[in-house]
Amino acid sequence: MNESLKLWEQTLNVLKEELDEADFTVLFSEINEVFKTENSYIYIIVPNALTKFRIEKFYINRLNDIVGKISRSLIKFKFILKEDAIEIEKPPITTKDEVNKRPLKAEYTFNNFETGESNRFAFLSAMKVAETPDSLYNPLYIFGDVGLGKTHLMMAIGHYILDNKIDTNVVYTSAQEFTEDYFLATSTKKGKENIESFYRKYRDADILLVDDIQFLEGKHSTQEEFFKVFEYLHGINKQIVITSDRSANELKNMMTRLKSRFNWGLSVDIKVPDKNLRMNILKRKLGFLIENPKGVPNDVLELIADTFTSNIRDLEGALRRYITYCVSLNIPFSTDNVYVALDRLLPEKEDDKHQNHSYFENIKKEVSLYFQIPIQDLESSSRKQQITYARQMAIYLIKTLYNPPLKQIGEKFGNRDHATVSHAYDKINNLIKNNPLVKCDYDILIKKINKS
Ligand code: ADP
Ligand code: MG
């Protein structure tokens, strides 16, 4: 049986001896439910306002007297109507303002966190900790490479707890901030005052979230201080959550005591996301960026997901940049425009240049930028002089630099046949010899392509 309820029943047993049996039965016989125990008060649910009034007027002091003796503590009773108890039990509706005041990024919630194989266990563990912060998972130690969602998950725990219990003292800090706080607290003249406010900040935490603990490596006195804070909070069952870019055992120049504490609770890692998760993240993010996410073809998302594979922050950044680019220039959401928009962001691996797709796209892109002609036009059937010239130049460059089969070049330029490709090549080849302007275009383009 619940401890609080047991105390209530023991208290009633004592009171019963002191009252007229009928009085006792009328007032107390149906009161047997505890709403909650908080700050040394046991909240007892009473059926109606009259009962509440009578207990508070005539019996409360005696009841508190008795419970104090039985429990040998300062515990007291409070009485609460059933309807009020239900009212409070509902999670409070948190306003946007309240969320913004938190020391946490507003969008870093569980709701905004996509899960896949790489992060499911970390996600479930974080949920579990958020639901029962004083559980066995203390500390929760989340580790993984940069940009994989550690801070997001850690802050989500904070949001969840605050959504359910607004007066919880959630303290978010980074190991760097902790170090700075400690330094300020100990290095200035108002030493005592500062160290006290330092203690208050960290030791009053109900939930302590410490980001990027690897920053403490090699900082011995800060580690010492963090160790004390850790011991204190852990000792009074306050939840601690830590993130790191590697497992506790892999931390270098870190006190063994601390490392072993990090392994006391639960250690979970976040791995690199698979394609499916990357796609889901892009789709979700797209919903935040534009009104009609369906307007962006899947091919575009696939291309971005295939390019940015190891860091979710970069993945999101690429999508944001692409969308901003297309929207501000009012150009279509095409895969070609991915290359143009993400120009320098795309990895420039040496062997990429020799892979079919990227060198085709790369040369089309440079030619398109140089002549100020959209890539689509290079692939179109347009016979406008300027477009034809640019297209022939692109074909010439591809053949000269990479010499792929004519048929393949034709396919990449709006399905032209090999004779057309061959003609384009010969034409530019002649012009370069005879026309200095064409030679100049060629020279500049070659330089650009070799640099990109
Ligand atoms: P870390 O702290 O591991 O370096 P962050 O938590 O800062 O990484 O995450 C980087 C970015 O990626 C953030 O914008 C975050 O919202 C986003 N992100 C990471 N994982 C997910 C996920 N599973 N679902 C949605 N967004 C994610
Ligand atoms: Mg982080």
What is the distance, to the nearest Å, from the Cα of residue 331 to the centroid of all Cα atoms in its chain?
31
Residue 299 pLDDT exceeds 80: yes
Determine the distance separating the centroid of ligand 1 and the alpha carbon of 123, expressed in angstroms. Answer: 12
| Helix pair angle (120-131, 150-164), 10° resolution | 30
pLDDT at position 113, please?
96
Determine the distance separating the centroid of ligand 1 and the alpha carbon of 140, expressed in angstroms. Answer: 18
pLDDT at position 39, please?
64
Q: What are phi and psi of 36, to 5 degrees?
A: -165, 165
Ligand 1 in reach of 126 Cβ (< 6 A): no
Left (φ > 0), alpha (ψ -120 to 50) or beta: where does 374 sit? beta
Q: How far apart are CA 60 and CA 106, in angstroms?
A: 44
372 pLDDT band, cuts 50/70/90, is confident
Average pLDDT of the residues in 266-285: 96
Determine the distance separating the centroid of ligand 2 and the alpha carbon of 196, expressed in angstroms. Answer: 28
Average pLDDT of the residues in 288-302: 93
Ligand 1 in reach of 281 Cβ (< 6 A): yes
Long-range own/partner contacts, residues 295-298 (CB < 8 A, 24 or more apart): 295/333, 296/323, 296/333, 297/333, 297/334, 297/335
Ligand nearest to the CA of 271: 1
pLDDT at position 278, please?
97
Determine the distance separating the centroid of ligand 1 and the alpha carbon of 164, expressed in angstroms. Answer: 23
Of the candidates 119, 107, 114, 113, the residue with the CA atom closest to the CA atom of residue 280: 114
Kindly report which listed range (79-93, 181-195, 205-219, 434-448) carries the lowest average pLDDT score: 79-93
Determine the distance separating the centroid of ligand 1 and the alpha carbon of 230, expressed in angstroms. Answer: 26
For residue 136, give Cα distances in angstroms to 3, 127, 238, 398: 20, 13, 11, 62
Contact 210, 242 (CB under 8 A): yes
Ligand nearest to the CA of 147: 1
Kindly report which listed range (28-42, 48-62, 206-220) carries the lowest average pLDDT score: 28-42
Of the candidates 292, 294, 354, 290, the residue with the CA atom closest to the CA atom of residue 325: 290
Output Rg (C-alpha) for the chain, integer angstroms.
Answer: 34
Of ligand 1's listed atoms, the one at least distance from the Cα of 123 is 23
Q: Any residues with CB less than 8 A from the CB of 389 and at least 6 apart, and which? A: 371
Contact 359, 353 (CB under 8 A): yes
pLDDT at position 72, please?
78
Six-digit token string for 84: 């009020």
The DSSP code sequence of 3-42 is: HHHHHHHHHHHHHHHHS-HHHHHHHHTT---EEEEETTEE
pLDDT at position 98, please?
74
Tell the residue nearest (CA) to atom 9 of ligand 1: 149
Six-digit token string for 395: 């074909």
Ligand 1 in reach of 119 Cβ (< 6 A): yes
The DSSP code sequence of 198-213 is: HHHHHHT-SEEEEE-G
Contact 185, 198 (CB under 8 A): yes
**For the CA atoms of 426, 427, 430, 434, what is the dihedral angle to 10 degrees?**
-170
Ligand 1 in reach of 106 Cβ (< 6 A): no
pLDDT at position 350, please?
41
Asked whether the whole model's pTM tops 0.85, one would answer no
Residue 109 pLDDT exceeds 90: yes
Q: Tell me the pLDDT of the chain averaged across its residues.
A: 89
Determine the distance separating the centroid of ligand 1 and the alpha carbon of 283, expressed in angstroms. Answer: 14
**Higher model confidence: residue 192 or residue 81?**
81
Ligand 1 in reach of 312 Cβ (< 6 A): yes
pLDDT for 306-365, tens place per residue?
Answer: 999 999 999 999 999 899 888 888 889 998 888 888 876 665 444 444 455 678 888 999
Residue 87 pLDDT exceeds 70: no
Residue 73 pLDDT exceeds 90: no
What is the percent of the chain where pLDDT is above 70?
A: 93
Q: Which amino acid is present at 213?
A: I
Ligand 1 in reach of 146 Cβ (< 6 A): yes
Ligand 1 in reach of 113 Cβ (< 6 A): yes
DSSP assigned state of 163: H
pLDDT at position 191, please?
61
What is the percent of the chain where pLDDT is above 90?
A: 62
DSSP-H helix ranges across 79-189: 82-89, 96-101, 120-131, 150-164, 175-187
126 pLDDT band, cuts 50/70/90, is very high
Stated as kind and residue range, the H or E segment containing 267 is: strand 266-269
Ligand nearest to the CA of 144: 1
Ligand nearest to the CA of 150: 1
Ligand 1 in reach of 123 Cβ (< 6 A): no
pLDDT at position 195, please?
85
Q: How far apart are CA 423 and CA 392, in angstroms?
A: 9
Residue 96 pLDDT exceeds 80: no
Average pLDDT of the residues in 183-199: 80
Six-digit token string for 290: 């534009």
| Coil/strand/helix, residue 114 | coil
Residue 63 pLDDT exceeds 90: yes
Six-digit token string for 131: 């639901």
Determine the distance separating the centroid of ligand 2 and the alpha carbon of 144, expressed in angstroms. Answer: 10
The DSSP code sequence of 373-420 is: --HHHHHS----HHHHHHHHHHHHHHHHHH---HHHHHHHTTS--HHH
What residue ranges in 273-344 does DSSP mark as E strands? none
Q: How far apart are CA 31 and CA 9, in angstroms?
A: 9
Residue 18 pLDDT exceeds 60: yes
Contact 148, 245 (CB under 8 A): no
**Higher model confidence: residue 342 or residue 138?**
138
Q: Does the bond joining 91 to the residue before it have cis omega, within 30 degrees of 0? A: no
Determine the distance separating the centroid of ligand 2 and the alpha carbon of 321, expressed in angstroms. Answer: 21
Ligand 1 in reach of 313 Cβ (< 6 A): yes
pLDDT for 194-237, tens place per residue?
Answer: 888 899 999 999 999 999 999 999 999 999 999 999 999 999 99
| CB-side neighbour CA atoms (13 Å) of 247 | 9
